[in-house]
Amino acid sequence: MIFEKETQPIIRIQNVCCNKQNINIVDGIEVCVNCGLVFDPSLVDDERRAFNSKEISERKHSEPRWREFGSRTILPASNIDFKGNVLNGEQRTLYSRLSKIQNSLISSIERNYWIAKPILKELSSKLNVPIYISEIAWKIYTHAVKKRLTMGRSIESILSASLYISIRIHEFPKLLEDISDAMMMPRKNVIRSISLLIREVLPELNLSYKPITIDKLVIKFCNELGLSHPTQQEALKIITISLKKGISISGKDPKGFAASAIYLATRFTKDHKNQILISKFAKITEVTLRTRVKEMISMIS
């Protein structure tokens, strides 16, 4: 095996390749031109910034840069060609003109995608969301961009709404507050975008939005609080009895009913939790918790 000195060691297998190796990089993949043997692709994961000529020469990358969409050829604003030679005035004028022409050929949708895709990846990483949920969120967002729904609205709000809708489609245990906190955005802005996407995008994509239920919230909060299975079953039983007796839940936050059922269940079991802790995990106020507890006690008593 022969190791070549590059940014990363590349392993060559001589007994497989031909005697006259002529290796070229084609579309980011190293290929022997003589025999056609394909080696591992050479990709760049991170791009290091440079601020002076010394750092430019030390941190220069020769590997291609990849995108999931849009143009893959980039004309940088530098005075050095790919061989390291300094461009003269005529060449600099030529490449500056070509760069402007290339930027003019890029559509506004592609520029929107270039901004939105990293934001969605960062948000999905913060929330620890599975890949399939991120893919559906990106599908919803791209459809919204093509319908020009992002005009006059922020990219972050439409992205947050797309991700939350995807979470609700797959019934993943995440709250709207988790997304708004991770994006550092007011909750009401995300709600406006959610209603817009549900009305304009989901019918065309044949996707169904499933609002989070009180039962799912009870299970989520019990797991986060570390409560036992009997406590969880008791809380679900309290919810069922309250709903059968006609407790009014329309127009009210389901987190309050789930938290109040858990608090009442802890009073009948050994898992004692105070109102401050439960309201903190449920992301509601203590006043809301006490109000919902009174309503449930009047129903089940």
Between 131 and 1, name the one with better pLDDT. Answer: 131
Q: Residue range 192-218: average pLDDT? A: 91
Per-residue confidence at 2, pLDDT binned at 50, 70, 90? very low
197 plus 114 within the same structural domain: yes
Among the ranges 2-16, 197-211, 241-255, which has the highest mean pLDDT value?
A: 197-211
95 plus 148 within the same structural domain: no
Looking from the CA of 135 toward its CB, the CA atoms found within 13 Å total: 4
Summarize pLDDT for 112-149 with one digit per residue, the tens.
Answer: 888 899 899 999 999 999 999 999 999 999 999 999 99
Between CA 138 and CA 159 the distance in angstroms is: 8
Summarize pLDDT for 51-85 with one digit per residue, the tens.
Answer: 677 766 666 554 444 455 555 566 666 777 767 78
192 plus 272 within the same structural domain: no
CATH code for the domain of 180: 1.10.472.10
Query: What does each C-alpha distance from 169 to 50, 101, 133, 181, 234 come to in angstroms?
Result: 43, 42, 9, 21, 28
- The answer to whether residues 66 and 44 touch, using CB atoms and an 8 Å cutoff, is yes
Helices 214-225 and 229-244: angle between axes, nearest 10 degrees = 160
- The answer to whether residues 280 and 292 touch, using CB atoms and an 8 Å cutoff, is no
Predicted confidence at residue 161, as pLDDT, reads 95
pLDDT(39) > 90: no
- The answer to whether residues 282 and 214 touch, using CB atoms and an 8 Å cutoff, is no
Predicted confidence at residue 27, as pLDDT, reads 58
pLDDT(33) > 50: yes
Between 53 and 207, name the one with better pLDDT. Answer: 207
**Which residue among 42, 66, 90 closes a domain?**
66
Query: Which of 117, 106, 107 is CA-nearest to residue 139?
Result: 117
Per-residue confidence at 14, pLDDT binned at 50, 70, 90? very low
**Which residue among 205, 223, 247 closes a domain?**
205
- The answer to whether residues 202 and 165 touch, using CB atoms and an 8 Å cutoff, is yes
Give the gyration radius of the chain's Cα atoms. Answer: 28
Predicted confidence at residue 68, as pLDDT, reads 59
Predicted confidence at residue 35, as pLDDT, reads 78
198 plus 232 within the same structural domain: no
pLDDT(213) > 90: no
The number of residues making up the chain comes to 301
Predicted confidence at residue 89, as pLDDT, reads 82
186 plus 242 within the same structural domain: no
Predicted confidence at residue 20, as pLDDT, reads 73
290 plus 229 within the same structural domain: yes
281 plus 219 within the same structural domain: yes
Q: Residue range 161-175: average pLDDT? A: 91
DSSP string, 189-231: HHHHHHHHHHHHTHHHHT----PPPHHHHHHHHHHHHT--HHH
- Chain mean pLDDT for the chain: 80
15 plus 80 within the same structural domain: no
- The answer to whether residues 193 and 176 touch, using CB atoms and an 8 Å cutoff, is no
Give the residue carrying structure tokens 């989901």: 202
Predicted confidence at residue 142, as pLDDT, reads 93
- pLDDT above 70 covers a percentage of the chain that reads 80
DSSP β-ladder status, 2-4 and 23-26? unpaired
**Which residue among 173, 205, 237 closes a domain?**
205
242 plus 295 within the same structural domain: yes
Q: Where are the alpha helices (DSSP H) in the chain?
A: 53-58, 89-105, 108-127, 131-146, 155-169, 176-183, 187-200, 202-205, 214-225, 229-244, 254-268, 275-282, 286-300
Q: Residue range 254-279: average pLDDT? A: 88
β-sheet bridge partners, residue 11: 3
Predicted confidence at residue 300, as pLDDT, reads 77
125 plus 199 within the same structural domain: yes
Please tell me the total count of domains within the chain: 4
Predicted confidence at residue 205, as pLDDT, reads 92
Predicted confidence at residue 133, as pLDDT, reads 93
Query: What does each C-alpha distance from 238 to 206, 261, 276, 277 come to in angstroms?
Result: 36, 6, 20, 20
- The answer to whether residues 266 and 225 touch, using CB atoms and an 8 Å cutoff, is no
pLDDT(282) > 80: yes
- The answer to whether residues 140 and 166 touch, using CB atoms and an 8 Å cutoff, is yes
Entry pTM: 0.65
Q: Which residues form the domain of 94?
A: 75-105
Between CA 292 and CA 285 the distance in angstroms is: 11
